[in-house]
Amino acid sequence: MKTGYRIVLLLLVAAGAFLTGSLVTYYGGNHKSTAERKILYYVDPMNPAFKSAKPGIAPCGMALEPVYADKISSGLTDPGVQASAVPGSIYISTERQQLIGVKVMNVEKSPWTYTMRVLGRVTPDEALVYVINSSVEGWIRAIYDNSTGSIVKENEILASFYSPEFLSAEQAYIYALGSLDRFSADSKEPPQQIELTNKNVKQYEDALRNIGMSELQIAEIRRTRQYTENIQLRSPAKGFVTVRNVTTGLRFEKGKELYRIADLSRVWILADVFENEASFFRPGQRVKIELPYQKRSLYAQMSNVLPQFDPATRTLRIRLKADNPGYVMRPDMFVNVELPMSGPPAIIIPTDAVVDSGLRKTVFVDHGNGYFEPRQLETGRLLGDRVEVTRGLMPGEKIVVAGNFLIDSESRMQQAALGITEKAGRDLICGMNIDEDRSKAAGFMKTYQGKEYFFCSTECRDEFAKTPQRYLSSAATQVTVSSLQPKVNIAIDHPAHDAGKMIPPKGDSPKTGQKMKTTDGGHNHD
């Protein structure tokens, strides 16, 4: 029994010791952590550009959030890092990069190859399309075995019709043939008469041909010297019936389209391409054609006809000529047109690396140690999932190809905290990152040797105007020791700086006990 009490007592003592140690560790560590973290200023959680020296309520209605010195010591809000970093750069820790899945690639300049694929539509060759119109009035008496889509042979009978106009033409033709026979049998007739009769026979043949009688039927009348009331419609070539506007007993007028025959042994392929792509298609060029549902490939040749511009789709229509063995391609079928292309050395990057806002295209250049620079680009040809860069990148640089949209969000937040909303730049005098568009609008700009330089204030601009060569020669490498010391930022209005520019407060020097004088971009703050 005593043993049981002892065990319970020991457990109670152990639990008490554990709780006491936990409380001491918690309050002591938390107090130490709180004591070490120094609040520099407070920001609006919805608008980081708004800063205040005291806690309170933000304009958005939310409580102001504190910004600690240990948090910005590694970020671009630190003036020392800001002075040495590329203008407009942002800082993202390694942990955050891993969290958002950042991936980078090296920029290279090399020859490129690409296979352009566009959709083409099959149409009949206009030179191989035959239209059968009626030259007289009449009505259909009989229709033979043909319908739309069926294949017919050359001179195959399509239909027969009756027209009164043929009777007089046939009668004149048969009479001229009889006269020619008599003159040929009588050797006493002068040659001039025989020649005139031959011309009359040819004239009447042309008359029958012009009103729609076929050559075979004219030859049959010449052989038999017999009238016929049924005029035959025959196919002028081998091909497919694409239009048939006849029925038995149909009365038609002069000029009506009765049949349309298309020879599909050779077809056209029409493809729509953008204006910058049309230059790759040259007359006589051999182009690969793929029939997607038949797993078959053919080859076509570019026509020498100039591409036609379609104002509705804002594209250029090119024409390809292709043989059609076995009639595998039919009108209005779609095929894939593949054109291999190659070009001189150029910078080609994935399209996923570009953040396209519509007005500008941006990539993020990795400068190492967690610093990324948002840089605007000018692009050229779009090569599938890659794009050509014509301006903005150099070989050897590293760019972000994954996670760039989250980096873009972080960039907008950090740039807003620095008061930069448009094009980022650097003041050569004080070294702070600035908004070039805002500086230009305020007149804080100076042109030197044909190049524009932007500043945060008129003081910096005038200081640069005195000795511009001094600052240009050292702008790339000059980082003063004083600029690397952390500064305490408070919310204070200064007419010569942006809202995001923070001024160190007055105070005594910790070493000399005298009033501390800091130099910030050529401005002395006592």
Residue 427 near residue 521, CB atoms below 8 Å: yes
Same domain, 284 and 383: yes
Tokens of 223: 């052989």
Same domain, 134 and 258: yes
Q: Which pLDDT band, with edges at 50, 70 and 90, does 321 fall under?
A: very high
Residue 349 belongs to a domain: yes
Higher pLDDT, residue 300 or 61: 300
Q: Which of 35, 4, 27, 50 is nearest to 416 (CA)?
A: 50
Same domain, 275 and 202: no
Instruction: Report the percentage of the chain scoring pLDDT > 90.
Output: 14
Q: Is the pLDDT of residue 22 over 80?
A: no
Q: Which pLDDT band, with edges at 50, 70 and 90, does 159 fall under?
A: very high
Q: Which of 262, 297, 327 is the last residue of a domain?
A: 262
The C-alpha angle with vertex 218 and arms to 200 and 264, in degrees rounded to 5, equals 125
Could you tell me the end-to-end alpha-carbon distance of the chain, in angstroms, rounded to an integer?
A: 80
Residue 108 near residue 347, CB atoms below 8 Å: yes
Which is it for strands 445-448 and 451-454: parallel, antiparallel or unpaired?
antiparallel
Q: Which of 204, 239, 262 is the last residue of a domain?
A: 262
Higher pLDDT, residue 31 or 48: 48
Average pLDDT over residues 160-181: 86
Tokens of 46: 């919805």
Sheet holding 39-44, edge to edge: 47-52, 39-44, 65-68
Q: How far apart are alpha carbons 296 and 335 in whole angstroms?
A: 10
Residue 217 belongs to a domain: yes
For the chain, what is the total number of helices (H) and then of strands (E)? Answer: 11, 31
Higher pLDDT, residue 494 or 260: 260
Residue 1 belongs to a domain: yes
- pLDDT number for residue 267: 94
Residue 58 belongs to a domain: no
**Where do runs of H (alpha helix) occur along 37-187?**
69-72, 79-84, 94-100, 165-185
In this predicted structure, which of 27-36, 44-53, 328-337 has the lowest mean pLDDT?
Answer: 27-36
Q: Is the pLDDT of residue 402 over 70?
A: yes
- pLDDT number for residue 368: 82
Tokens of 489: 């930022």
Amino acid at 87: P
Same domain, 284 and 217: no
Higher pLDDT, residue 328 or 450: 328
Q: How far apart are alpha carbons 87 and 434 in whole angstroms?
A: 8
Tokens of 384: 């599938």
- pLDDT number for residue 413: 63
Q: What is the pLDDT of residues 452-508, one digit of tens each?
A: 777 877 878 888 888 887 777 655 444 333 333 333 333 333 333 333 333 333 334
The C-alpha angle with vertex 348 and arms to 277 and 116, in degrees rounded to 5, equals 30
Cα–Cα distances (Å) from 77 to 257, 437, 481, 485, 489, in that order, read: 80, 20, 17, 13, 10
Same domain, 338 and 390: yes
Amino acid at 306: L
Q: Which of 101, 164, 4 is nearest to 400 (CA)?
A: 101
Q: Is the pLDDT of residue 510 over 60?
A: no
Q: Which domain holds residue 349?
A: 107-125+265-363+378-397
Angle between helices 191-210 and 215-224 (to 10 degrees): 140
Q: Is the pLDDT of residue 84 over 60?
A: no
Same domain, 186 and 248: yes
Q: Is the pLDDT of residue 60 over 90?
A: no
Higher pLDDT, residue 352 or 483: 352
- pLDDT number for residue 94: 83
Q: What is the pLDDT of residues 286-314, one digit of tens each?
A: 899 999 888 888 999 988 887 888 888 88
Q: Which of 47, 51, 23 is nearest to 39 (CA)?
A: 51
Q: Is the pLDDT of residue 366 over 70?
A: yes
Q: Which of 495, 489, 357 is nearest to 418 (CA)?
A: 489
Same domain, 256 and 162: yes
Q: Which pLDDT band, with edges at 50, 70 and 90, does 140 fall under?
A: very high
Amino acid at 464: F
Torsion angle, alpha carbons of 78, 84, 85, 88, to 10: 80
Question: What residues have CB less than 8 Å from 479, skipping those under 6 apart?
Answer: 80, 83, 84, 431
- pLDDT number for residue 322: 94
In this predicted structure, which of 38-52, 112-126, 209-223, 420-434 has the lowest mean pLDDT?
Answer: 420-434
Average pLDDT over residues 63-83: 56
What's the maximum distance between 2 C-alpha atoms anywhere in the chain?
Answer: 166
Instruction: Report the percentage of the chain scoring pLDDT > 70.
Output: 71
Higher pLDDT, residue 451 or 413: 451
Residue 449 belongs to a domain: no
Question: What residues have CB less than 8 Å from 519, skipping those under 6 apart?
Answer: 482
Same domain, 334 and 385: yes
Q: Which of 262, 285, 301 is the last residue of a domain?
A: 262
- pLDDT number for residue 300: 93
- pLDDT number for residue 37: 65
* 3 state SS of 23: helix
Q: Report the chain's C-alpha Rg in angstroms.
A: 45
Q: What is the pLDDT of residues 372-383, one digit of tens each?
A: 888 888 888 888
**Ranked by mean pLDDT, which of 2-11, 255-264, 458-467 comes out on top?**
255-264
Residue 383 belongs to a domain: yes
- pLDDT number for residue 488: 32
Write down the mean pLDDT value for the chain: 76
Higher pLDDT, residue 502 or 437: 437
Q: Which pLDDT band, with edges at 50, 70 and 90, does 4 fall under?
A: low
Same domain, 279 and 388: yes
Q: What count of other Cβ atoms lies within 10 Å of the Cβ of residue 34?
A: 8
Q: What count of other Cβ atoms lies within 10 Å of the Cβ of residue 383?
A: 18
Tokens of 478: 């000059």
Q: How far apart are alpha carbons 201 and 183 in whole angstroms?
A: 13
Q: How far apart are alpha carbons 470 and 475 in whole angstroms?
A: 9
- pLDDT number for residue 20: 66
- pLDDT number for residue 178: 83
Q: What is the pLDDT of residues 212-255, one digit of tens each?
A: 888 898 888 888 888 888 888 999 999 999 999 999 999 999 88
CATH number at residue 253: 2.40.50.100
- pLDDT number for residue 266: 93
In this predicted structure, which of 64-73, 427-436, 481-490 has the lowest mean pLDDT?
Answer: 481-490
Q: Which pLDDT band, with edges at 50, 70 and 90, does 158 fall under?
A: very high
Same domain, 275 and 351: yes
Average pLDDT over residues 271-300: 85
Backbone angles phi, psi at 383, to 5 degrees: -110, 75
Q: Is the pLDDT of residue 521 over 50?
A: no
- pLDDT number for residue 319: 92
Same domain, 277 and 199: no
b/e per residue 285-318 (b: at least 16 CB within 10 A): eebebebeeeeeebebebbeeebeeeeeeebbbb
Same domain, 250 and 139: yes
- pLDDT number for residue 21: 62
Partnered with residue 372 across adjacent β-strands are: 90, 366
Q: Which of 386, 393, 399 is nearest to 349 (CA)?
A: 386
Average pLDDT over residues 43-64: 77
b/e per residue 239-263 (b: at least 16 CB within 10 A): bbbbebebeeebebeeeeebbbbbb
Residue 94 belongs to a domain: no
Amino acid at 184: S
Q: What is the number of domains present in the chain?
A: 3
| Positive or negative: CA dihedral 107, 109, 111, 112 | positive
Tokens of 69: 């010195």
Q: Is the pLDDT of residue 32 over 70?
A: no
Question: What is the DSSP code string of 415-474?
Answer: HHHTT--S-EEE-TTT--EEEHHHHHHHT-EEEETTEEEE-SSHHHHHHHHHSHHHHHHH
Q: Which of 516, 521, 472, 515 is nearest to 498 (CA)?
A: 521
Count the residues in the chain.
Answer: 526
Q: Is the pLDDT of residue 411 over 50?
A: yes
Average pLDDT over residues 416-430: 60
Residue 493 belongs to a domain: no
CATH number at residue 309: 2.40.30.170
